[in-house]
Amino acid sequence: MTTSTPRSPEAAPLLELRDVEAGYGPFRALFGVSLSIPPGHVVALLGSNGAGKTTVARVCSGLVAPTAGKLLFEGNDVTGVRAYRIARLGVAHAPEGRSVFASLTVEENLLLAFRVDLGRKLAPEAVARAYELFPRLGERRKQHAGTLSGGEQRMLALARVLVNPPRLLIADELSLGLAPIVVEEVYRTLGKVRDEGAALLLIEQHVKHALALADDVAVLNHGQVNYYGPASELGDLSERLLPAASNGSHA
């Protein structure tokens, strides 16, 4: 097992998993997972299919309760706290819990979402910002969301989170199935969200994209963390841990 201390250990973690075990019924997916996400940091969570990445994300957002260990938010124990209450602390999990209304237009979807999040007065400004982030949504503003392509629907769901960034955005394979040009757009936007001070937990098949943005990297293997440290120190370990990272394809 290879570990090292992530950057800025002096910063109190925004979210921390301590020796977390979790699973589904009798099936255990995570074995003693410890992970801390400092405020404003980007942590990339990598690993092969079935390694437990989505389960970690679900524990972080309260969708799966640990059977052992602790979940801490700014040092407070939130183990077993329901997902909607963790969301209120400023943790957003995308794409889970973010859907669009098929029978409303793009603009109606955005206006509705921002009225809920920000109030009637600020909503139009937020819609304009969504179109700046995703010009394609602006071009399709009058189109019913149900008739958008899969990638465009993902952008619409994402716009809500990205325009009004949470304190921690858990981004679980946001780019899955998106065209490369859209992936670039999503990553540019994630960079802006990070620049505005949000922390990110990135689960991503496009390893190169994730590593380009990440401060720290955690590599999961069979439900256990077998590397956690600064992305810059991954070095030649990346070839052993992530053979696909070096050729630009999927992990």
Site residues for ligand ATP per CB under 6 A: 24, 27, 29, 47, 49-55
Q: Tell me whether residue 58 or residue 194 sits nearer to ligand ATP (CB atom).
A: 58
The nearest distance, CB 15 to ligand ATP, in angstroms, is 17
**Cα–Cα distance for residue pair 170/166, rounded to 1 Å:** 9
The nearest distance, CB 34 to ligand ATP, in angstroms, is 17
The nearest distance, CB 218 to ligand ATP, in angstroms, is 12
The nearest distance, CB 24 to ligand ATP, in angstroms, is 3
The nearest distance, CB 43 to ligand ATP, in angstroms, is 15
**Cα–Cα distance for residue pair 193/165, rounded to 1 Å:** 6
Q: Tell me whether residue 47 or residue 165 sits nearer to ligand ATP (CB atom).
A: 47
Q: Tell me whether residue 9 or residue 150 sits nearer to ligand ATP (CB atom).
A: 150
Q: Tell me whether residue 64 or residue 190 sits nearer to ligand ATP (CB atom).
A: 64
Alpha-carbon distances of 205 from 18, 34, 136, 174, 183, rounded to whole Å: 25, 22, 24, 9, 11
202 close to 74: Cβ distance less than 8 angstroms: no
Q: Tell me whether residue 163 or residue 242 sits nearer to ligand ATP (CB atom).
A: 242
DSSP character string of 19-75: EEEEEETTEEEEEEEEEEE-TT-EEEEEE-TTSSHHHHHHHHTTSS--SEEEEEETT
